[in-house]
Structure 1
């Protein structure tokens, strides 16, 4: 299995031999997994902001439907449930990724070491297997530059190890608005073990995990019904040569209506309404994805190790949009209102690690190469036939596109003194776009073309372990973020072809932090600043097209705090707080129709970057009167969120409280888990997410008022 967060290309990784280790009493994670934080205390050795959400925190009194249930525990991270399965979650880290109208931008995503982000930077999380998640690791800040085409950070999910005996589990969750989730899992170790080996803690040869999940919902809003089916099979084992391997297969089948965003006026009328265009064109989206990944880790000697990770998959997307008929009829170069996309993708990452001594102090060097490709066949059709709307009409677009990413990386880790740890590294990334136009007519010329972006991203960090329980660190790094194929699709001059005037965003990032772990209390703090040149922004929405340009310089700076601890044997308190000041530092122009000029609408320097709240706070109080019972009160505050670059409108600030209880017990030869949740306890009117710079002012995606969830699962161990 691919090492966790920093091990992909970084290898801040496993402790170097001779490095100060965690106390013997530390609770270790699965010993066969090489991670950046083998035990909780090993996080004290990493000069970066890394957080781990463990299995209990992911699943405690939660339905395990999406990442928004647990990522609020991590400061600096925003994961908004859009109440819209057609558009996935809205995730940002330190303000990067907030502009995404669909999918995830500016953040690298991995599941069990397999990328969920394409080479152009577009990512998806809808297939993440939360049902069997062992932990979620989140990396914030400069060290994410060593993952290539990203800016804000990295989110990586890892499947839990199978239990000692085969386990069969089934569960259901029901909730408001027709929500129904059913799941079935089978987890088992495999391979021969000597008698008494399990009692002595000897691991099996490997494990196998199978998870199937089916989710159906009528949706909180009109025209937001969805069905999502997903599955994952994971096989892990050992090789005769002391190596390890991992095989991963997952699939996703999604059918979802899209209610779109609401204007401020529509929001005042009916919060649960869909947009007029969503109803008129009956817009929806279907996705089918299949992915296979494999990893081999092989020690070559006591000092050398080699690992190779490969993956490949196919993602098919069909989507009807609400592009007005008149726009398509008046513009012969328009690409239509129906998307039919068939994407094949694959990649391979090979890396070598050498551990030795430098001036009699532990030293490690990691270097590797990564190659990734996404080939897509993109068709566009009119979304009407005569007077009929919301149907597949005449062909308006036929392209063969390819994006290729080539990366070379190196990282050096050194312990120059007993309490000091130094990391220096760099990654050279090259991203190439190629488009072949196959829809050529007398009035629609050949729009084929290609672009290439490249960048070297250095990073350096130093950590001082002041005590056995306290570390302070500082780091700095450069990063870049290319446009995606979707953002390159339209030019500001109205002509066809790739937007070759669009440049990648380049960032310089700095961070200072501390991390502490005491027996009953752990806490962390980080100060950061990122300055970005050529920020990517939407400068025009014209006939269903979002046209992107560069907005000069921008700055994100802030403070992140987190703490968790036991108040007593039965009471536990956890919380996080984020202050984020994100602003444009340069003037730029936007307009209703391109090309834009200063006389149209000037966005002045000093405006807030939209889609972000200046203050975010979360806290959870948990009472556990018995070993199998938890009662939780969860509260959060979200400051107002500007919805456009001009800061003319904003979603208001709000406070929300959730109440939940979970009970675990044995009965009838089965292990039972049941929970109940009441979300938005005081029935507040909340804007759950916003669509930045949305055309027609459809910025707002309201969240439900008071709503309930109830779930039960049963497990049988074949011991």
Structure 2
């Protein structure tokens, strides 16, 4: 079948379904609220998604619930431009628009927040998959550099929000699946005139597909809000206990003959990692007048971890906290904000081999981000944003193991300024066009700044990049169909690559320049929607094409110019 016939068939399909969907017993006001009145705040100002001057993907609670609630990758893949490598429940890596693929075992180019509380550690590691999906009411993802708002995080941002309900309710769930996977959770919500409390407790246990692959996770997540005429007070609390065996990676020959096998050395020591984690935050919002508001969040975080490995054992932990403040102004034609985010963590780690201490260190990490943004609406159709941020990061290493010499030191990175400009033109409720350009950066983690000998590499630079994007949003057939499409280009310099020297020794290097070009498409289609049986049926499909390559990179005399960056699919469809 040639291309014109395919296009005609697809168009006929949607016209037929929308003719049926518009005859369902839901009035126009309800259908408008259902598909179009989506309010997002990932760009720091509460704005209808139709008027946001940039690419942002949003999943509401019902869309998140369409998965089994156990695999974060299934949820993220329902949004274009995002790919999540998932080896096990506890081994994942998120890549947004090709950024973040060169991290070995985790996500460290994406910044994550829970109810506006940073859950990304000060070394840049994000593990949003630690949060049980049953505890997420909404998810907003900014794709591409957003350092002008959130600081270090070249790939983008994942903003998570706990559910909010105006009803008193309780629910429970028990699941059983393959590989002896058992999940149980219970949640409840209490609401009065000015008080809302919500809580969720869950437990997941799975033997896994492979050898040495058992996973156990217990978590508690709770949030609440107390509202008064001139202020409101919110809290967020997350507690977690995890124990996960590590099958590690195997070669292709063994995979073809015995795909369930674990790596022999990890299986021999029954390698695993376990950790306990706590995050708590309080947010005070003051309404000074109809135009002025201030939102202050104070938070603390703690983690204790142990990992048994075939080459040595790692015992580490983190304690710290910080604050995030946003002063905002709103009028008919202007929105403006000025904000500050500061985090400070103390990270300690030690390694032992055959019950003998071989390394012990303590790190202090400080991150500062001062940001501002202005949104100007000269008319109802236009929304123009411009702003930027000033960022500063410091690391201090204290060597507490004297047998191999004192390798203490400091790394004070230079101040980085990240500007951003965006424009959105929405001539009607059916069509919106947007364009944006923004700068972003990612700092090397403290571990990446260490040379193999343990000294601090003062020549390692932050990776920086600029993104250019164009996009369109369409609401068709009385808003029963939503279409979004965007094209982008990201130019990176000093790409950070983690280079493996031995099985347990890694170091960071700058890999010159890379280019990331892509096209994203998403469609949300309401087929029918009934208030009673059979309920509602919707389609959410997306497609991403991307081309990610080295432009200028030479390592050990080998030239990689023009080569594709590994670990990034060229085509993704779901």
- TM above 0.5, yes or no, is yes
Structure 2 counterpart of 1:94: 97
Paired residues of 2:420 and 2:437 also in contact (CA < 8 A): yes
Structure 2 counterpart of 1:607: 563
**Distance in 1 between the 2:207 and 2:50 partners?**
45
Instruction: For residues 94-125 of structure 1, give each alpha carbon's deviation from its aligned partner in whole angstroms, at most 9, with x where no partner exists.
Output: 01122223331211111122111123321112
Please tell me whether residue 291 in structure 1 is matched to residue 279 in structure 2.
yes
Structure 2 counterpart of 1:232: 221
Task: Choose from 128, 138, 144 the match for 2:141.
Answer: 138
Structure 1 counterpart of 2:25: none
Task: Choose from 554, 557, 574 the match for 2:517.
Answer: 557
Structure 2 counterpart of 1:642: none
Structure 2 counterpart of 1:76: 81
Please tell me whether residue 376 in structure 1 is matched to residue 378 in structure 2.
no
In the TM superposition, 1:289-438 aligns within 5 A as 289-323=277-311, 337-356=312-331, 362-382=333-353, 384=354, 393-438=355-400
**Distance in 2 between the 1:25 and 1:614 partners?**
36
Structure 1 residue 23 displacement after superposition: 8.0
Paired residues of 1:488 and 1:498 also in contact (CA < 8 A): yes
**Distance in 2 between the 1:37 and 1:25 partners?**
26
**Distance in 1 between the 2:468 and 2:397 partners?**
36
Local SS of the residue matching 1:432: strand
Instruction: For residues 372-395 of structure 1, give each alpha carbon's deviation from its aligned partner in whole angstroms, at most 9, with x where no partner exists.
Output: 01111111111x2xxxxxxxx111
In the TM superposition, 1:556-575 aligns within 5 A as 556-567=516-527, 572-575=538-541
Structure 1 residue 351 displacement after superposition: 1.6
Structure 1 residue 139 displacement after superposition: 1.1
Local SS of the residue matching 1:417: coil
Structure 1 counterpart of 2:191: 189
Structure 1 residue 169 displacement after superposition: 1.7
Structure 1 counterpart of 2:72: 67
Q: Which runs of 5+ in 2 are unaligned?
A: 1-27, 530-535
Q: Structure 2 vs 1, CA of residues 136 and 186 (structure 1 numbering), >3 Å: closer, same or farther?
A: same
Structure 1 residue 38 displacement after superposition: 12
Instruction: For residues 529-569 of structure 1, give each alpha carbon's deviation from its aligned partner in whole angstroms, at most 9, with x where no partner exists.
Output: 10110111133422421222001100111000001113456
**Distance in 2 between the 1:616 and 1:144 partners?**
26
TM-score under structure 2 normalisation? 0.89
Structure 1 residue 53 displacement after superposition: 0.7
**Distance in 2 between the 1:111 and 1:184 partners?**
20
Q: Structure 2 vs 1, CA of residues 126 and 41 (structure 1 numbering), >3 Å: closer, same or farther?
A: closer
Task: Choose from 455, 461, 466 the match for 2:422.
Answer: 461
**Distance in 1 between the 2:572 and 2:34 partners?**
32
Paired residues of 1:28 and 1:38 also in contact (CA < 8 A): no
Structure 1 residue 66 displacement after superposition: 3.4
Instruction: For residues 348-399 of structure 1, give each alpha carbon's deviation from its aligned partner in whole angstroms, at most 9, with x where no partner exists.
Output: 0112112347xxxx112210111101111111111x2xxxxxxxx1111111
Structure 2 counterpart of 1:200: none
Structure 1 residue 243 displacement after superposition: 1.5
Q: Structure 2 vs 1, CA of residues 430 and 606 (structure 1 numbering), >3 Å: closer, same or farther?
A: same
Q: Structure 2 vs 1, CA of residues 28 and 160 (structure 1 numbering), >3 Å: closer, same or farther?
A: farther
Structure 1 counterpart of 2:55: 49
**Distance in 1 between the 2:196 and 2:47 partners?**
27
Local SS of the residue matching 1:162: coil
What is the CA RMSD across the aligned residues, in angstroms?
Answer: 2.3
Paired residues of 1:26 and 1:40 also in contact (CA < 8 A): no
Paired residues of 2:328 and 2:335 also in contact (CA < 8 A): yes
Structure 1 residue 51 displacement after superposition: 1.5
Please tell me whether residue 216 in structure 1 is matched to residue 219 in structure 2.
no
Local SS of the residue matching 2:377: strand
Structure 1 residue 37 displacement after superposition: 9.3
Structure 1 counterpart of 2:3: none
Structure 1 residue 524 displacement after superposition: 0.5
Paired residues of 2:148 and 2:371 also in contact (CA < 8 A): no
Paired residues of 2:147 and 2:439 also in contact (CA < 8 A): no
Local SS of the residue matching 1:486: coil
Structure 2 counterpart of 1:622: none
Local SS of the residue matching 1:279: helix
Structure 1 residue 446 displacement after superposition: 0.5
Paired residues of 1:170 and 1:185 also in contact (CA < 8 A): yes
**Distance in 2 between the 1:131 and 1:356 partners?**
37
Structure 2 counterpart of 1:174: 176
Please tell me whether residue 248 in structure 1 is matched to residue 223 in structure 2.
no
Q: Structure 2 vs 1, CA of residues 124 and 438 (structure 1 numbering), >3 Å: closer, same or farther?
A: same
Structure 2 counterpart of 1:544: 504
Instruction: For residues 268-300 of structure 1, give each alpha carbon's deviation from its aligned partner in whole angstroms, at most 9, with x where no partner exists.
Output: 121010001111222110110011111111111
Local SS of the residue matching 1:541: strand
**Distance in 1 between the 2:337 and 2:166 partners?**
33
Structure 2 counterpart of 1:530: 490
Paired residues of 1:234 and 1:248 also in contact (CA < 8 A): yes
Structure 1 counterpart of 2:456: 498
Aligned length in residues: 537
TM-score under structure 1 normalisation? 0.72
Paired residues of 1:48 and 1:141 also in contact (CA < 8 A): no
Q: Structure 2 vs 1, CA of residues 111 and 290 (structure 1 numbering), >3 Å: closer, same or farther?
A: same
Structure 1 residue 188 displacement after superposition: 1.3
Paired residues of 2:495 and 2:510 also in contact (CA < 8 A): yes
